[in-house]
C-alpha cells in the first residue's frame, strides 16, 4: 500500500457535499436527467470540469445541492464519504455540513441531520465511533454510551474511524437561521456534534449577522472554526481573530498584521493546499503560507476541504506537502500526529488516537 495511505491521518476540514464521489454525483445526475429534472449533458460537463475558480466552486455546490436534496441521498453520501476516508486510513474525521431545509422533500434542518446520522449508522465495513465519550452531563448520552461500549467490546476486528460532526452556518443565512443551526447542534451534542463552522461564499454576508449565534454557541461550550481570509477583507479577518475561534480554515489573504496576530494567538490553521490552488486563492504552492507556518512551528493541520470537488485525498495532500516543501516522511508523520491536539473531541479520544499513532510509528519504520 502507498506509504501516504498507510499512515494514520486526521481530517479536520471536510465538507460533506464537497466530498462526494464523482461516480455518485454522475449517477444522481443521470437519475434526475431521466426524470427530466436536470439536463444531464450540462450537469456532466460541470461535474467533470476540475479547474474551478472560487465563484465556480460555489455554483458547483448549488448544483450538488440540487442532486442531494432528499434524506435517502444525504444518508447515502454520508456513508460513502465515511467509507472513503476510512479506506485511506483517516482515523479521526471531523465532518462538517450545513443543515438544510427543503420543503418539497419534507426536509428541515433536524431531519437533514438525522439523515446524516443514519448514514453514519449504516456504514458496515468499518467501525464508526460517533459518541464514545459523554462530553456533557446529558441523560440521553448515557444510554447511547453504554450501547456503544458494548459494540466496542464485541471485538469486530474491523478498522475503526472516529467521526465527529460540525454543523456549518452558510454565509447566505440570516441571524435567525444561524441561531437555529446552533440550537440544533446543542440538541445533538450527545450524538457526536462537537462544534460549529462558518462557511459559504466569502463575498456574501456580514460577520455581524453570524456573531450572535457564534457567541451563543461559544457560551454553550461548542467549539468554533471559521473560514477566515479566503478573500482580502482585513476588517473581517481582525474581527474573526478577535472572536478567538478554536481553529480557522484557509488564512489565504492575510497581511503582515494579520499574520502577527494569528501567530501570537497560536490559533490552529486548517490548510487545504489543493483547494487553495484550484480556486486560485493562492497562485502557486511555492508562495503558500504552509511553508512559513510550518517552519515557525505554528499549529497547522493538512486537510482536503472538498475531496470530491477538488479531486484530492488526505493522503494526496500529505504527499503533495512533502514533495512541494521538501519535508521527509518522518516529519510528515509527526505533522499528522500533531493534528490530534487540535481535534474537537475530548481527552479520551485524544488518548486513543495517540495509541493508534504509537502503534503506527512502530510498524511504519
CA distance 29 to 113: 23
Query: Are residues 227 and 270 in contact, defined by beta-carbon separation less than 8 angstroms?
Result: no
Q: Which is nearer to ligand 5GP, 275 or 319 (CB)?
A: 275
Q: Which is nearer to ligand 5GP, 262 or 360 (CB)?
A: 262
Of residues 190-209, those binding ligand 5GP (CB under 6 A)? 199-200, 202
Task: By CB under 6 A, tell whether 225 contacts ligand 5GP.
Answer: no
Q: Which is nearer to ligand 5GP, 192 or 200 (CB)?
A: 200
The answer for residues whose C-beta is within 8 angstroms of residue 182's C-beta and 6 or more apart is 167, 169, 196, 213, 214, 216, 217, 220, 222
Among 97, 135, 225, 315, binds ligand 5GP (CB under 6 A): 97
Of residues 293-332, those binding ligand 5GP (CB under 6 A)? 305-306
Task: By CB under 6 A, tell whether 16 contacts ligand 5GP.
Answer: yes
Q: Which is nearer to ligand 5GP, 16 or 120 (CB)?
A: 16
CB atoms within 10 A of CB 21: 15
Q: Which of 80, 94, 230, 236 is catalytic?
A: 230
Helix (H) / strand (E) element for 262: namely: helix 256-265
Query: Are residues 162 and 91 in contact, defined by beta-carbon separation less than 8 angstroms?
Result: yes
CA distance 181 to 169: 7
Q: Determine the interface stretch with ligand 5GP among 11-19, 85-93, 117-125, 234-242 (rule: CB under 6 A).
A: 11-19
Task: By CB under 6 A, tell whether 170 contacts ligand 5GP.
Answer: yes
Q: Grid coordinates in use for 297?
A: 512551528
CA distance 102 to 109: 9
Residue 193, SS3 per DSSP: strand
Query: Are residues 158 and 185 in contact, defined by beta-carbon separation less than 8 angstroms?
Result: no
Size of residue set near ligand 5GP by CB under 6 A = 17
Q: Grid coordinates in use for 185?
A: 447542534
Asked if 118 is an active-site residue, the reply is no
Helix (H) / strand (E) element for 60: namely: helix 54-67
C-alpha radius of gyration, the chain, whole number: 20
Q: How far is CA 97 from CA 72, 109, 116, 184, 280, in A?
A: 16, 11, 9, 13, 23
Among 227, 288, 289, 337, binds ligand 5GP (CB under 6 A): 227
Rounded to the nearest whole angstrom, what is the least distance from the CB of residue 317 to ligand 5GP in the complex?
A: 14
Residue 33, SS3 per DSSP: helix
Rounded to the nearest whole angstrom, what is the least distance from the CB of residue 3 to ligand 5GP in the complex?
A: 28
Among 7, 12, 18, 107, binds ligand 5GP (CB under 6 A): 18
| CB neighbour class for 81 (10 Å; exposed up to 12, middle 13-18, buried from 19) | buried
Q: Which is nearer to ligand 5GP, 7 or 198 (CB)?
A: 198
Q: Grid coordinates in use for 35?
A: 426524470
Of residues 48-77, those binding ligand 5GP (CB under 6 A)? 61
Task: By CB under 6 A, tell whether 230 contacts ligand 5GP.
Answer: yes
Site string (115-154) toward ligand 5GP, x via CB under 6 A: ----------------------------------------
Task: By CB under 6 A, tell whether 78 contacts ligand 5GP.
Answer: no
Rounded to the nearest whole angstrom, what is the least distance from the CB of residue 281 to ligand 5GP in the complex?
A: 8
Binding site for ligand 5GP (CB under 6 A): 15-18, 61, 97-98, 168, 170, 199-200, 202, 227, 230, 275, 305-306
By annotation, the residues acting in catalysis are: 230
Amino acid at each position: 500500500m502507498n506509504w501516504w495511505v498507510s499512515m494514520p491521518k486526521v481530517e479536520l476540514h471536510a465538507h460533506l457535499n464537497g466530498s462526494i464521489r464523482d461516480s455518485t454525483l454522475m449517477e444522481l445526475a443521470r437519475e434526475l436527467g431521466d426524470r427530466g429534472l436536470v439536463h444531464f449533458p450540462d450537469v456532466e460537463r460541470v461535474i467533470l470540469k476540475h479547474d474551478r475558480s472560487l465563484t465556480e466552486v460555489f455554483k458547483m455546490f448549488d448544483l450538488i445541492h440540487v442532486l442531494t436534496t432528499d434524506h435517502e441521498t444525504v444518508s447515502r453520501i454520508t456513508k460513502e464519504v465515511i467509507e472513503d476516508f476510512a479506506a485511506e486510513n483517516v482515523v479521526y474525521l471531523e465532518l462538517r455540513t450545513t443543515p438544510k431545509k427543503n420543503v418539497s422533500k419534507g426536509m428541515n434542518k433536524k431531519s437533514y441531520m438525522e439523515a446524516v446520522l443514519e448514514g453514519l449508522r449504516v456504514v458496515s465495513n468499518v467501525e464508526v465511533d460517533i459518541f464514545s465519550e459523554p462530553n456533557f452531563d446529558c441523560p440521553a448520552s448515557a444510554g447511547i454510551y453504554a450501547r456503544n461500549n458494548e459494540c466496542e467490546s464485541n471485538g469486530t476486528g474491523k478498522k475503526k474511524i472516529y467521526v465527529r460532526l460540525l454543523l456549518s452556518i452558510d454565509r447566505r443565512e440570516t441571524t435567525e437561521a444561524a441561531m437555529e443551526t446552533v440550537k440544533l447542534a446543542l440538541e445533538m451534542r450527545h450524538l457526536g456534534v462537537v462544534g460549529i463552522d462558518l462557511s459559504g461564499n466569502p463575498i456574501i454576508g456580514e460577520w455581524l449577522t453570524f456573531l450572535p449565534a457564534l457567541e451563543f454557541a461559544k457560551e454553550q461550550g461548542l467549539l468554533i472554526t471559521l473560514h477566515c481570509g479566503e478573500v482580502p477583507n482585513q476588517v473581517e479577518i481582525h474581527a474573526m481573530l478577535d472572536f478567538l475561534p478554536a481553529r480557522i480554515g484557509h488564512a489565504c489573504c492575510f497581511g503582515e498584521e494579520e499574520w502577527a496576530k494569528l501567530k501570537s494567538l497560536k490559533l490552529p490553521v486548517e490548510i487545504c493546499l489543493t483547494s487553495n490552488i484550484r480556486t486560485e486563492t493562492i497562485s502557486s504552492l511555492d508562495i503558500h503560507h504552509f511553508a512559513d507556518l510550518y517552519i515557525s512551528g505554528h499549529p497547522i493541520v493538512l486537510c482536503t476541504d472538498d475531496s470530491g470537488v477538488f479531486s484530492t485525498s488526505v493522503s494526496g495532500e500529505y504527499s503533495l506537502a512533502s514533495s512541494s516543501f521538501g519535508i521527509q516522511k518522518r516529519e510528515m508523520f509527526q505533522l499528522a500526529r500533531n493534528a490530534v491536539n487540535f481535534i474537537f473531541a475530548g481527552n479520551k479520544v485524544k488518548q486513543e488516537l495517540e495509541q493508534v499513532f504509537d502503534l503506527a510509528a512502530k510498524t511504519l519504520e
